[in-house]
Amino acid sequence: MHFSSLEGRTDLSCVFCGAAGLGIQTVEDLLARVIVNEGLYVFGSREYMSRVRGGSNSTEIRISSSPVDALVDRIDLLFALSAGVRENIRERITPDTVIFGDRDELKEEADELGGTFVNIPLQDIAKEVGGKIYSNSVAAGFLFGILGLGLDGAREFFEQRFADKKPEVVEKNMKAARTGFDQGEALVEKKGLLDGYTRLKEKESMILSGTDAVGLGALAGGCTFAAAYPMSPSTGVLTFLASHAEECGVAVEQVEDELAAINMAVGAAYAGGRSMVTTSGGGFALMTEGVSLAGVVESPVVIHLAQRPGPATGMATRTEQGDLLHALFSSHGEFPKAIYAPGTLESAFKITQKAFATAWSYHTPVIILTDQYFVNSFRNLSPETFEFLPELPEIEKTGPNYRRYEDTPDGVSPYGIPGWGEGIVGGDSHEHDEEGHVYEDFHLRTRMQDKRMRKLEGMKREALPPTLIGPEKYETLVICWGSTLPIVREALKNLGRADTALLAYEQVWPLHSSTEEYLRKASRTVMVEGNSTAQFARLIRCETGVALSGSVLKYSGLQFSVEEVEKRLTEFLSGKEGSR
Amino acid sequence: MHFSSLEGRTDLSCVFCGAAGLGIQTVEDLLARVIVNEGLYVFGSREYMSRVRGGSNSTEIRISSSPVDALVDRIDLLFALSAGVRENIRERITPDTVIFGDRDELKEEADELGGTFVNIPLQDIAKEVGGKIYSNSVAAGFLFGILGLGLDGAREFFEQRFADKKPEVVEKNMKAARTGFDQGEALVEKKGLLDGYTRLKEKESMILSGTDAVGLGALAGGCTFAAAYPMSPSTGVLTFLASHAEECGVAVEQVEDELAAINMAVGAAYAGGRSMVTTSGGGFALMTEGVSLAGVVESPVVIHLAQRPGPATGMATRTEQGDLLHALFSSHGEFPKAIYAPGTLESAFKITQKAFATAWSYHTPVIILTDQYFVNSFRNLSPETFEFLPELPEIEKTGPNYRRYEDTPDGVSPYGIPGWGEGIVGGDSHEHDEEGHVYEDFHLRTRMQDKRMRKLEGMKREALPPTLIGPEKYETLVICWGSTLPIVREALKNLGRADTALLAYEQVWPLHSSTEEYLRKASRTVMVEGNSTAQFARLIRCETGVALSGSVLKYSGLQFSVEEVEKRLTEFLSGKEGSR
Amino acid sequence: MDANRFDLPGADIAWCPGCGDFRILESLKKALLELGLSPLDVVVVSGIGQAAKTPHFMTSHFFNGLHGRSLSNATAIKAANPSLKVIAVGGDGDMYGEGGNHFTHTIRRNPDITNLVYNNMVYGLTKGQASPTSQIGFKTPVQVEGVSSHPFNPVASALIAGATFVARGNAGDVEQTKELIKRAMEHKGYALVDIFQPCVSFNNLNTYKWFSENTYWLEDHDEGDFEKALSLVMAEAPFPLGVLYREEGRPTFAETLLAYRENKEPLFRRKASRNAVRKIMEGMCS
Amino acid sequence: MDANRFDLPGADIAWCPGCGDFRILESLKKALLELGLSPLDVVVVSGIGQAAKTPHFMTSHFFNGLHGRSLSNATAIKAANPSLKVIAVGGDGDMYGEGGNHFTHTIRRNPDITNLVYNNMVYGLTKGQASPTSQIGFKTPVQVEGVSSHPFNPVASALIAGATFVARGNAGDVEQTKELIKRAMEHKGYALVDIFQPCVSFNNLNTYKWFSENTYWLEDHDEGDFEKALSLVMAEAPFPLGVLYREEGRPTFAETLLAYRENKEPLFRRKASRNAVRKIMEGMCS
Ligand SMILES: Cc1ncc(C[n+]2csc(CCOP(=O)(O)OP(=O)(O)O)c2C)c(N)n1
Ligand SMILES: Cc1ncc(C[n+]2csc(CCOP(=O)(O)OP(=O)(O)O)c2C)c(N)n1
Ligand code: SF4
Ligand code: SF4
Ligand SMILES: [Mg+2]
Ligand SMILES: [Mg+2]
């Protein structure tokens, strides 16, 4: 009845919104697991306020027959769990949106939202079961009902999640889910919304987030030391590593401030620890002196920088791509660095390993730029898609005449550590001689500066090439970097223009040498990026001289949606939108 | 006899070199004062090691009939006060150089240095007078003798300098100077080296350094609050302000770290203090989070960043122009800032005032980029050449409905402060509403980000244009920024090419709009700057798309000399030197 | 004056229901009322954290800066205009972790500000990691086997650093904590009020109950006795509440600034000292 | 082993003639010799300042990092390879000013490192500004009318922060200071040796003479008595020298790291834990 617009579709977008503290996270996890176990694909993305309880958050969950990994505006099913549905959700409601909620809770809002409203007496059912806290399970059950899924998956999930609670917790949740389920099932008259969706034979059953992918990549890359100070949205990686510290043999420490974090990381690397830090913009700003230290002592440190909108505290739980030039140019003095910006979970896993490899090949800081959208989004895939790179070589013993900063043709000196071999191992933040002792000589200075900068040549040769997606012969070239990759890719697929290709960067420094050629082949170029000054477009101009024809920018705190990119690219292509 | 090469010259370069702690500074001051009082011009520049005693430092003092303000390689007279003359001095000695020293001290070095060696028994004379510490006065007296100046100036100087010491201190110094004088005078047979130099009628009698010019500019600009952590080469400005705190009514505090400095500066500005900080690269790196804070709270803070070679500790007492992009792009998030880079003392005085004016017109951080060479060099000029800008307007009282972040067409909101008027004054590091309260709304975010960035438009319109020096019609355009201005100017004057002009920038961000036109008019463009990656050239390319034809770079820790620029520009112009 | 003058109508208070922060806000507003202050007299300065959101939930001048840096902001605000009443508010992570260096060195300067620390022994806003004051063994998603670092003792540290007023309150005791805040604000010089605060979302060790069972209010305590204060704060639980130490007469930061020696005007009333500049330039001419 | 093994032949020692730092270097090298260590066992870590130049004037592994951050470097070096003997060396500005926050929080972690602070009560390398330990009234080109901030008390602060070994030496007393360094290095856990050091160029208040007149070496002191130690270090001059406090048995930082619970290898000997990674991935499949 209500669902006519969903007929024939194999891609459903459900959004849950409500106050923090209502257990939406549990519904998310439950839903994702059951859908994946059904042999379907799931993608989820959360946006939330910087508070622990109350406020108004939302999660989008896409369910599909084919792989999905991008945010859409479209809301097919909206679960409004508390009153006060916010503007950013309201703007996305169309007449086709079916809205579920408890009229007693939502009051007049129920009718103002647009779409089709369906009442679920969440509170009453929950109260009957045992209290307000069960309302999320009612909603989940209800959704299973309309999706046409059973409740076995839910039971399994609850049993696992509440394994250390009393058994009645599982039962009460099941009771709540069951009551919701019956109501939902009734609504679709036994033909669930997912009925037409084809199922996979080989389930792609690993569900993980950007945080997980970076964390796993770090462990696979050989990380043995992590120091961090909590800061949204980067804290997840710290928590991930801390929770696997023992089994993976990683020393993990929460420190007093970000200055300690980077200086510990550099210290650990000096003694042979493969170290990383994880932070966000403001924390990275505090680390910049330490990054400069890593540059001059030639220290392999990996820095995960999860971006959020600035300046300063900005929007602590929101997303932006505003720290690219900050990552590249902050720190005093000049030294080589590499900056990666993974666009997918697979590449986050691979690139985080690669970051360790680059750091340890060139002995210099390497940055992984993600953002709040990226680290908090999740999807399912098969573990086989995760590629393990070769392990890093062992550190060699030093000989008696070891010189840490031996001047070599490629600028890379042999990496020795104290306590392993017969040599003295020095490290110095001043300009220094080959042994690492401070020595004020102007020729030496020039020579050592040249030595360090030479490493950038090798790093350039090893830079990841951008990925061209779409026709080899293009008129228009759309460019993006980092987390927007799947979104722009899907938008271009939808637009289906034979003359337009996407060039997606997952390493933003040093730029791959193919850049200029790609650009010169296009008659029009447009950058899609999440900041207000088109930073990557500027960087490209700085490196190639090419001024892009335009840019599609966003800096509201939210990630681009597929539809928004489609719309704004269409406008651009029809000449309506220039750079903004 | 020894001085034939100096005949007819009206520009003399004397260099003193020796260990720290020998009182070279006193000789410098004495010499400069006496020469200026004679109605001549003086310029002095020091290079010194990062140690308090010992080592090997040098000072170049140029004496001339016409204004001088640039470092030269040429050494006419060298006073080698201790053994261990370093390579950077030795390289500058030619057969024409006359070297003075005590053979007992220098031993074999006396003969190895090249040039013509003249023995002065400094130690013996000094010992006779009363001890080793008088040897600097012997040397000074000696120099007065060969220059053909009397000793009245010296007496006056000593009386002033040693006013709070016992009178015999003056007498002993005079005795030392007198003995030296007699020997020097004998050497030139009554015709002093400065005999042919024309004297000014109106002496240009103010002697000051870059540090002084920035400090005076800050006071003239209305600075009422300064917080800093000592760091070479920026400490001088702190000391300058501290020594005038009472008479100028400036609150000056040495803080525990640079994070405190910038956060105090922002706090003081919130309450109406016109605040500044002074630091160097590593300290600035530590401030970058606070600079971002200034960006979002729209705080007028002035930051003096005296550059030295990095990365990290680098070379603490040396010079470089390596922090341009660091100054521009560090700090997370996007917000407007202005960056000045004075090239002369007059403009340092004016630009420092201007920095306060810009900060207080646009309520955003403003950076003054100098460097060790600039702050430690001195010359004489007339106080009249120092231009006072109009005083900043008074802060207006707030009305009852005051909103600190009122959204206005030019992005500038009225600046209210607590305790002055009837309004509530807020300040917030989050994205905020017009009152300054944190409020998570995506449209608001975009609007406030646009509001802040709009200020950059006005700042662009008010940007200082670069100065074109030389022919209006040029084939080749040489570009420089900051402290190299006088050096490149003198080099080009010496080269005397009718087809070559200099474009000197004293504001490096935002760039003046004339930039592209200047560049397009040239058939060849070359950047002269003191870093290893041609940062300003890259910035120009980023802004204009124009790739310069080449660059002359230096990053040894020493400033360019006039001769070096001449030589390397000649090579470039003859196609021998590309970018390095 | 209006008895609700420090309320902020329509504020969406972002704390969790039941959080101790509500009580402290109540104590603070009551204290300001009873001191007869107007919102225009007061600047509430804060960093980042749940505690640090305080200025957004009340009416007064406010400056909400960076995580850990509010004491630097506050010191300078007071120095720029000594007629303002300046209160720096923050959490234990903000003031003792990220801001730890400013905590020590601000105290050494003795600026005439009041420093309120909502000490919930956890990082609230970032969802439950250990803070410097967390107790040994406290488990979190990062400290998976429990905290192992020696807990930071804020009141003892303040005493050692030379604080001229050191007090400890308890969010649960609204009236008494209000009194402490009043006394702190009346004190001339730096005044710390560390306030035990239950975080109902992330700290199930240090609850309202725990705090009331593990504290006692001091009676007949000689506030001028430094040694006594030090031994009190070094002792194990139960922890004393009240004014632990007070010392009058030490010059405040603003009083030590040469800028105020002759000229008593706040900084914003001052013109550029151009005559003095001309004099300095003259001095450079000879 | 060679008795000169910690000397660095040809080193151009950049300290001023007569500086107390020479004596401390002598004490340090003697201590290392007497402990029978080799330069390959020891890492000397430092920040920036005159004191912090130490590792460039001797032979051993060395890491000379940033101003104020050496304790973070040192903690991590020791954690990465617990078999190294790690000594963090710096001045009073380095360790207590710029590095003040790390000083407190490093102590809380109790890493098994030795922390030597050359306390000359002035900023030497930057030419004579006040340091956190400068005395009230000390005049400098920045503190033109003399220091007005309450001096930082490093030994008391260390005690409050939970240091398990706190000592104070005097550069002038080479033998005794050497003994302190030896004992600090033998201590398992964080060990502070704050060493009074005359700066002959910039501090004419706190001279060799002043230090010897204002200090005394402790005798028959119970090193395990915390209260006694605290009261000793809070007293006015003369200042006690010696081991003020010592506590054994507190776990060290490395011991609390889960990374070392099962696996005792230093970090550089570990391979990427790929089996564990595969297991975690499996866990994400259900
Ligand atoms: C430089 C920086 N690092 C980290 C953060 C993230 N952060 C925000 S609040 C907070 C800690 C909150 O704990 P606390 O200060 O105790 O306040 P509470 O929330 O418990 O009241 C952290 C780590 C930040 N905003 N800035
Ligand atoms: C971030 C940073 N700020 C400032 C400096 C400049 N600086 C170098 S050493 C020093 C202080 C030296 O004093 P102290 O630590 O007491 O050592 P001392 O020279 O007295 O032995 C300072 C401020 C720096 N190198 N880095
Ligand atoms: S998380 Fe804790 S401190 Fe923060 S508001 Fe909730 S209960 Fe209060
Ligand atoms: S300045 Fe002071 S501390 Fe530094 S070397 Fe000289 S005497 Fe020693
Ligand atoms: Mg807290
Ligand atoms: Mg010192």
CATH number at residue B151: 3.40.920.10
Instruction: Please provide the DSSP assignment of D68-96 as one string.
Output: T-HHHHHHHHHHH-TTSEEEEEEEHIIII
D263 falls within a domain: no
**pLDDT grade, residue A21 (50/70/90)?**
confident
Task: Tell me if C17 and A53 make a contact (CB, 8 A cut-off).
Answer: yes
Percent of chain A's residues with pLDDT above 90: 94
Task: Tell me if D148 and C251 make a contact (CB, 8 A cut-off).
Answer: yes
| A72-113 pLDDT tens trace | 999 999 999 999 999 999 999 999 999 999 999 999 999 999
How many residues can be counted in chain A?
A: 580
C236 interfaces chain D, CB cutoff of 8 Å: no
Selection from D229, D220, D261 nearest residue D247 by Cα? D229
**pLDDT grade, residue D1 (50/70/90)?**
confident
**Strand ranges in B71-194 using DSSP code E only, listed in sequence order:** 77-80, 98-101, 116-119
Cβ atoms of residues C112 and C148 within 8 Å: no
Q: Could you tell me the distance, in angstroms and rounded to a whole number, from the CA of residue B460 to the centre of ligand 3?
A: 45
- Is residue A239 located within the same domain as residue A375? yes
Q: How far is CA C249 from CA C77, C110, C189, C244, in A?
A: 22, 11, 9, 17
Helix (H, G, I), strand (E, B) or coil at C104: helix
A195 falls within a domain: no
Which residues on D lie below 8 Å from C69 (Cβ)? none
- Is residue A350 located within the same domain as residue A334? yes
C45 falls within a domain: yes
Q: Residue D209 contacts by C-beta under 8 Å, 6 or more apart in sequence?
A: none
Q: What is the mean pLDDT of residues A252-274?
A: 98
What distance in Å separates the CA atoms of residue A52 and residue C202, rounded to the nearest whole number? Answer: 10
Q: What is the ipTM of this complex?
A: 0.98
Q: Where does a domain end: A462, A484, A514?
A: A462
Q: How far is CA D244 from CA B318, C285, D221, D226, D247, in A?
A: 43, 56, 8, 9, 11
Per 3-state DSSP, chain B is made up of helix, strand and coil in percentages (nearest 5) of 40, 20, 40
Write down the pLDDT at residue A580. 42
Residue type (1 letter), B294: A
What distance in Å separates the CA atoms of residue B22 and residue B180, rounded to the nearest whole number? Answer: 16
Q: How far is D195 from chain C (nearest CA, A)?
A: 19
Percent of chain B's residues with pLDDT above 70: 99
D113's enclosing H/E stretch is none
Selection from B25, B98, B47 nearest residue B376 by Cα? B47
Helix (H, G, I), strand (E, B) or coil at A397: coil
Q: How far is D261 from chain C (nearest CA, A)?
A: 11
Helix (H, G, I), strand (E, B) or coil at A235: helix
For the cut 50, the answer to whether the pLDDT of residue B579 exceeds it is no
Q: How far is C240 from chain B (nearest CA, A)?
A: 31
Place of tokens 């309309």: A146
Half-sphere exposure of B420 (CA within 13 A, CB side): 20
Half-sphere exposure of B474 (CA within 13 A, CB side): 25
Q: Measured from the CB, is residue D212 less than 6 Å from ligand 4? A: no
Number of compact structural domains in chain A: 4
Q: Domain of B361: which CATH number?
A: 3.40.50.970
- Is residue B227 located within the same domain as residue B360? yes
B200 falls within a domain: no
- Is residue A268 located within the same domain as residue A378? yes
Instruction: Please provide the DSSP assignment of A423-471 as one string.
Output: S--EEESB-B-TTS-B---HHHHHHHHHHHHHHHHHHHHTPPPPEEES-
What distance in Å separates the CA atoms of residue B331 and residue C207, rounded to the nearest whole number? Answer: 39
The conformation of residue A415, written as its DSSP 8-state character, comes to -
Cβ atoms of residues D142 and B215 within 8 Å: no
Q: Measured from the CB, is residue A282 less than 6 Å from ligand 1? A: yes
In this predicted structure, which of A157-161, C37-41, C187-191 has the lowest mean pLDDT? A157-161
Q: How far is CA A481 from CA A230, A343, A506, in A?
A: 26, 7, 6
Write down the pLDDT at residue B580. 42
B119 falls within a domain: yes
Write down the pLDDT at residue B191. 84
- Is residue B261 located within the same domain as residue B314? yes
C243 falls within a domain: yes
Selection from D108, D37, D65 nearest residue D251 by Cα? D108
C257 interfaces chain B, CB cutoff of 8 Å: yes
- Is residue A112 located within the same domain as residue A71? yes
Nearest ligand to residue D97 Cα: 2
Cβ atoms of residues D153 and D135 within 8 Å: no
Q: Please give the distance of CA A569 from its chain centroid, rounded to a whole number.
A: 23
Q: Measured from the CB, is residue C179 less than 6 Å from ligand 3? A: no
> Which atom of ligand 3 is least distant from the CA of C200?
7
D44 interfaces chain A, CB cutoff of 8 Å: no
Q: How far is B513 from chain C (nearest CA, A)?
A: 32
Cβ atoms of residues A56 and A19 within 8 Å: yes
- Is residue B343 located within the same domain as residue B218? yes
D82 falls within a domain: yes
Cis? peptide before C111, omega within 30° of 0: no
Q: Domain of A563: which CATH number?
A: 3.40.50.920
Q: Which domain range does residue B330 map to? A: 207-385
For the cut 60, the answer to whether the pLDDT of residue C128 exceeds it is yes
Q: Which domain range does residue D135 map to? A: 20-253
Cross-chain CB nearest to B541 (options A49, A446, A545): A545
- Is residue B12 located within the same domain as residue B107? yes
| C52-83 pLDDT tens trace | 999 999 999 999 999 999 999 999 999 999 99
Quickly list H helices, A224-323. Answer: 235-243, 245-248, 258-270, 281-297
Per 3-state DSSP, chain C is made up of helix, strand and coil in percentages (nearest 5) of 35, 15, 45
**pLDDT grade, residue A579 (50/70/90)?**
very low
C82 falls within a domain: yes
What distance in Å separates the CA atoms of residue A210 and residue A45, rounded to the nearest whole number? Answer: 11
Write down the pLDDT at residue A170. 94
CA-nearest residue, atom 1 of ligand 4:
D124
Cβ atoms of residues A238 and A230 within 8 Å: yes
| A436-488 pLDDT tens trace | 999 999 999 999 999 999 999 999 999 999 999 999 999 999 999 999 999 99
- Which residues face B369 on adjacent strands? B305
What distance in Å separates the CA atoms of residue B556 and residue B567, rounded to the nearest whole number? Answer: 17
> Which atom of ligand 4 is least distant from the CA of B53?
6
Write down the pLDDT at residue A342. 98
What angle, 0 to 180 degrees and rounded to 10, lies between the N-to-C axes of helices A24-37 and A135-147? 30
Write down the pLDDT at residue A5. 84
In chain B, which residue's Cα lies nearest the Cα of A294? Answer: B312
Q: Where does a domain end: A152, A187, A222?
A: A187
Write down the pLDDT at residue A576. 67
Chains that touch B (3 or more CB pairs under 8 A): A, C, D
A294 falls within a domain: yes
Tell me whether strands B500-505 and B467-469 are parallel, antiparallel or unpaired: antiparallel
D111 falls within a domain: yes
What distance in Å separates the CA atoms of residue C233 and residue C235, rounded to the nearest whole number? Answer: 5
Rg of the Cα atoms in chain D: 20
In this predicted structure, which of A191-205, A434-448, D5-19, D267-281 has the lowest mean pLDDT? A191-205
Q: Measured from the CB, is residue C223 less than 6 Å from ligand 3? A: no
- Which residues face C123 on adjacent strands? C129
- Which residues face B278 on adjacent strands? B228, B304
Task: Tell me if A260 and D262 make a contact (CB, 8 A cut-off).
Answer: no
A192 falls within a domain: no
Write down the pLDDT at residue B576. 67
Sheet holding A251-254, edge to edge: A251-254, A225-228, A275-279, A301-307, A366-371, A338-340, A507-509
Task: Tell me if C98 and A256 make a contact (CB, 8 A cut-off).
Answer: yes
Number of compact structural domains in chain D: 1
Cβ atoms of residues D91 and D52 within 8 Å: yes
* HEC string for B376-403: HCEEEECHHHCCCCCCCCCCCCECCCCC
Q: Domain of C176: which CATH number?
A: 3.40.50.970
- Is residue A493 located within the same domain as residue A535? yes
- Is residue A455 located within the same domain as residue A475? no
C208 falls within a domain: yes
What distance in Å separates the CA atoms of residue B356 and residue A422, rounded to the nearest whole number? Answer: 57
Cis? peptide before D132, omega within 30° of 0: no
Q: Measured from the CB, is residue C200 less than 6 Å from ligand 3? A: yes
CA angle A152, A156, A160 (to 5 degrees): 165
B60's enclosing H/E stretch is strand B54-64
| B436-473 pLDDT tens trace | 999 999 999 999 999 999 999 999 999 999 999 999 99
- Is residue B239 located within the same domain as residue B139? no
Task: Tell me if C63 and B274 make a contact (CB, 8 A cut-off).
Answer: no
Q: Measured from the CB, is residue D25 less than 6 Å from ligand 4? A: no
What distance in Å separates the CA atoms of residue A398 and residue D198, rounded to the nearest whole number? Answer: 39
| A129-144 pLDDT tens trace | 999 889 999 999 999 9
**pLDDT grade, residue B416 (50/70/90)?**
very high
A480 falls within a domain: yes
The answer to pTM > 0.95 is: yes
What distance in Å separates the CA atoms of residue B301 and residue B365, rounded to the nearest whole number? Answer: 5
Quickly list H helices, B330-441. Answer: 345-362, 372-376
- Is residue A246 located within the same domain as residue A323? yes
B194 falls within a domain: no
